[in-house]
């Protein structure tokens, strides 16, 4: 579609609507909804106006609107707060600027289990490029550490790949080195584990728990 065609198409949605004041509220509501999901109008208004064709996302959205109203009524009942003090749930509360509001750790875990860590690493980099600094995903230090800890028992190699990625963004993350050391012990590679505990200690020298784990591993080796 050319720019002019796009403007005309948008006009076909907007013009009849702007004729009435309450329709301006509707437009404001629609803009808020679109921004909350990070989509354009056509994501839901997918069929030509008046065509009578099904618009599956619009149907979901209508049900979501009813659900959100329900939730707010239940929140009011649960807290007993008057409307002026009540904190309301809105589309943005769950959606955070994306249509399917999965958490980043869920996405990375799912991709790692289904397609392996190289695919998960690509996905993380890609999402970070598009969404860093927005509300959509938590790119903090903990996300990848938590996923790695969840899988390091069964899939230590994948866990290590995710932790290496985390260290690219958080080179001073002693907790990433600790998590990596744990994955190393699952691979029965105690030498690598000790090296990673030492790196963790370089960053966080007074951490007694890391010192303890390193000592334990060393004394285990002396005994053998």
Query: Which parts of this chain interact with ligand HEC (CB under 6 A)?
Result: 13-14, 17, 26, 30-31, 33-34, 37, 39, 41, 43-45, 57-58, 60-62, 64-65, 68, 89, 91, 93-95, 99-101
**C-alpha–C-alpha distance, residues 223 and 128, integer Å:** 46
Least distance between ligand HEC and beta carbon 154 (Å): 25
User: Closest CB to ligand HEC among 123 and 187?
Assistant: 123
User: Closest CB to ligand HEC among 34 and 192?
Assistant: 34
**Contact present, 213 and 181 (Cβ < 8 Å):** yes
Token pair 């996405």: residue: 107
Least distance between ligand HEC and beta carbon 7 (Å): 12
User: Closest CB to ligand HEC among 95 and 175?
Assistant: 95
Q: Encoding tokens for residue 118?
A: 């190289």
| Cα angle value 3/9/12 (rounded, 5°) | 145
Least distance between ligand HEC and beta carbon 96 (Å): 10
**Contact present, 214 and 194 (Cβ < 8 Å):** yes
Q: Encoding tokens for residue 207?
A: 């951490």
Least distance between ligand HEC and beta carbon 27 (Å): 6
**Contact present, 151 and 113 (Cβ < 8 Å):** yes
User: Closest CB to ligand HEC among 45 and 199?
Assistant: 45
User: Closest CB to ligand HEC among 62 and 221?
Assistant: 62
Q: Encoding tokens for residue 40?
A: 């354009």
User: Closest CB to ligand HEC among 67 and 154?
Assistant: 67
**Contact present, 195 and 204 (Cβ < 8 Å):** no
Token pair 């679109």: residue: 34
Least distance between ligand HEC and beta carbon 57 (Å): 5
Least distance between ligand HEC and beta carbon 81 (Å): 18
Contacts by 177-180 with C-beta closer than 8 Å and gap 24+?
A: 177/203, 178/210, 178/213, 179/145, 179/148, 179/149, 179/152, 180/148
């Amino acid at each position: 579609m050319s720019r002019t065609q796009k403007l005309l198409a948008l006009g076909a949605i907007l013009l009849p609507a702007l004729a009435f004041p309450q329709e301006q509220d509707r437009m404001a509501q629609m803009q808020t909804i679109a921004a909350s999901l990070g989509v354009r109008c056509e994501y839901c208004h997918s069929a030509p106006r008046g065509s009578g064709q099904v618009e599956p996302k619009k149907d979901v959205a209508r049900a979501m609107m009813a659900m959100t109203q329900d939730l707010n009524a239940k929140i009011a009942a649960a807290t007993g707060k008057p409307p002026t003090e009540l904190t309301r749930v809105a589309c943005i509360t769950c959606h955070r600027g994306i249509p399917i509001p999965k958490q980043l750790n869920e996405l990375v875990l799912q991709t790692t289990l289904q397609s392996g860590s190289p695919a998960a690493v690509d996905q993380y980099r890609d999402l970070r490029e598009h969404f860093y600094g927005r509300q959509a995903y938590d790119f903090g230090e903990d996300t990848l550490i938590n996923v790695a800890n969840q899988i390091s028992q069964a899939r230590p190699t994948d866990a290590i790949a995710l932790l290496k990625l985390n260290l690219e963004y958080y080179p001073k993350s002693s907790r990433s080195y600790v998590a990596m050391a744990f994955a190393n012990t699952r691979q029965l590679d105690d030498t690598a584990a000790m090296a990673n505990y030492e790196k963790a200690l370089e960053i966080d020298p007074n951490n007694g728990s890391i010192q303890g784990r390193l000592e334990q591993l060393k004394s285990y080796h002396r005994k053998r």
